[in-house]
Amino acid sequence: MLFMNPKIIGISVLAVFSLLFMMTAGCTGTGPVPPGSQGEPIIPETTATPVTPPVTQSPESPVVSGTGTPGDTRATAQGNNRFAFAMYTRLVKEDGNDGSNLFFSPYSLSSALAITSEGAKGKTAEEIRSVFYFPDNATAMRSGFSAMNAGINTGDPRYSLRTANALWAEKTFPFLAEYTDAAGNSYGAKITNLDFIGSPEDSRKTINTWVEDKTGNRIKDLLPAGVIDSMTRLVITNAIYFKGTWVKQFDRNKTADAEFRAAPGKTMTVPMMQRTDENAVFRYAETGDLQMLSMPYDHTTGKQLSMVILLPRDDSLTWTESMLNESMLSALQRSAESRQVRVYLPKFTVKTKYTQMGRTLAAMGMPTAFSSDADFSGMDGRRDLFISDVVHQAFVDVNEEGTEAAAATAVVMRLAAAPANPEPVPVFRADHPFVFLIQDDETGAILFMGRMVNPVSSG
């Protein structure tokens, strides 16, 4: 189904990083290890004194005060974008994704792994920083995410944009105060104690309910049955939500069926929106190989957000995806000018679920976190925790009024404008595959990213 809601909403959910921990004491194994995740032995475990189990607190994440410097915020946004392009490239190459729509939230993944990395040490921490392009300086990372989150939570009368973090802890397990304090003070992730040992299913439902609430009920059952069990020790959740409308909305009466060339020899009929009037003025850039269009969402006092679309001149995404990186996007945006553009854009809805995201991240350069060599001693003072799986789920709906987008991540760990001079008005006809992203124009951070190959398919 192409349109779930007549209102264009943009929801980005960095929802659940579910950390299931397995204690190695008395155990002969540490759980499944993704292919290629055998890490080298790392330094002996760090000596630390565990604190008593944390007191139950509200799972809500208050607005984190922005303490980061402009430089920290810029570095955080740039790191997020470098990860976004790296993840996109990896997903394009994975089995099963050839010719398929893609959609995910790099900010969701980065935020949850930033909180996870606060408890990582040694090689485990180095690999996570490398994959997500986190700064080596912990203070800079914390202040950067604190400022980014505060900016997202600033609010605006014309749209809804907010982010929230939470920690869900096994009530009998002693986490270090240094870790929980860092998660709370820098990321707004407060702790709620759950009975993972005695009531794993009820705990799973509690977390899933939080995710559904933070994502406008777009992400349901993020944690499937069986993911939470008696060996679960910690679940880290982050949700980011956006609901907004275009500054220049499309006229529903002008939407008409049109041809979309999904692949050589494969065409389909899709509902094509259009803005061809003289007021259709957008930021626009072009090269001999592609066109770029930036479509802003309505706002007043808050952040300016936009959807950026990269449309190849030909019907193939091969060249565009091979050149896709932060420098390419920045160069296009610097050359863009406000001008009249005849815009044709298909309505579409995409739902994705990446159940093997752990394998993807391991292959990208952080295998140790998924192995028995993992060192998350910064969480509990011992090296008995490791990530067993990562699941990412996302949703996006684009229509005449705006955009609705949602995403959730579960990390499972176990104990282990018009030109002045007359000139031809460019035509931006997105009737073939294209790349798109939703971006925070103030910091440049990419909140969502994907590609549209088949507007008729919802997957």
% the chain with pLDDT above 70: 84
pTM of the model: 0.83
Nearest to 119 by CA among 138, 133, 105, 135: 138
Residue 68 confidence (pLDDT): 61
Could you say which architecture CATH assigns to the domain 252-348+420-452? Roll (2.30)
Distance, CA of 10 to CA of 343 (rounded, Å): 20
- The DSSP code for 191 is E
What is the residue-wise DSSP string for 316-366?
Answer: -SHHHHHH-SHHHHHHHHHH-EEEE-EEEEE-EEEEEEETTHHHHHHHHT-
pLDDT per position as a tens digit, 201-253:
999 999 999 999 998 888 888 888 888 889 889 988 888 888 889 999 999 99
> Over 50: is that where the pLDDT of 361 sits?
yes
> Over 60: is that where the pLDDT of 12 sits?
no
Which residue is listed with tokens 């808050």?
302
Pairing of strands 160-170, 190-194: parallel
- CATH 2.30.39.10 spans which residues of the chain? 252-348+420-452
> Over 80: is that where the pLDDT of 36 sits?
no
Residue 3 confidence (pLDDT): 37
> Over 60: is that where the pLDDT of 26 sits?
no
pLDDT per position as a tens digit, 116-165:
999 999 999 999 999 999 999 999 999 999 999 999 888 889 988 888 88
Residue 242 confidence (pLDDT): 85
- CATH 3.30.497.10 spans which residues of the chain? 16-245+349-415
The CATH fold assigned to 16-245+349-415 is Antithrombin; Chain I, domain 2 (3.30.497)
Nearest to 139 by CA among 190, 180, 106, 182: 182
pLDDT per position as a tens digit, 301-329:
888 999 999 999 999 999 999 999 999 99
> Over 90: is that where the pLDDT of 29 sits?
no
pLDDT per position as a tens digit, 163-190:
888 999 999 999 999 999 999 999 999 8
